[in-house]
Amino acid sequence: MEDAANSGLDVKWYMNLFLDNEIVRLVNSDLMFAMFSIIFVWIWMRVHTGSTFIASLGMYMVFCSVPVSLLLYKGLFQIPYFDSLHTLVIFIVLGVGADDIFVLVDSWKQTRDEYPGDISWHCDIPLTHKRLESCYAVSVR
């Protein structure tokens, strides 16, 4: 397109098709960034915890919180407004959910001195419960 200007008159070109194409391009690039963030957080949880199971359950916890919050938002409170800014909630939930896992795992590691010994399937069940109780008390503080 060439400039449409004549004797001080500027013409701005606008077309819904161009706007729709730009919005689709932006949404796709943002979606790729969100997918990268999800994968990165899962990998970081896996490295920090040393457990694929815990990292996967942590991500499951994050994904299960989104439908519950949507149910509360739209179903219980009957709020019809939804903007593109609301889609950024995945980054907030990813951060809070990953932080929960990190705090719980770190407090589990800190209680190792208080409850020494191997915690495995064949261990003393009351000892495991006491350590988990102590771990939860540390993580809540």
Which of the four pLDDT bands, split at 50, 70 and 90, describes residue 110? confident
Query: Is the pLDDT reported for residue 106 higher than 60?
Result: yes
Q: For position 2, what pLDDT does the model report?
A: 57
Give the integer Cα–Cα distance in Å for 83 and 28.
16
Q: Is residue 102 part of a domain?
A: yes
pLDDT > 90 fraction of the chain, expressed in percent and rounded: 24
82: helix, coil or strand? coil
Q: Is residue 88 part of a domain?
A: yes
- The number of folded domains in the chain is 1
Q: Is residue 23 part of a domain?
A: no
Q: What's the mean per-residue pLDDT of the chain?
A: 82
Handedness of CA 108, 114, 117, 120 (dihedral sign): negative
- Global pTM? 0.70
- Residue 84 gets the label, from left (phi > 0), alpha (psi -120 to 50) or beta, of alpha
Nearest to 107 by CA among 141, 67, 72: 141
* Structural domain span for residue 36: 31-110
For the packed helices 16-49 and 89-110, what is the interaxial angle rounded to 10 degrees? 0
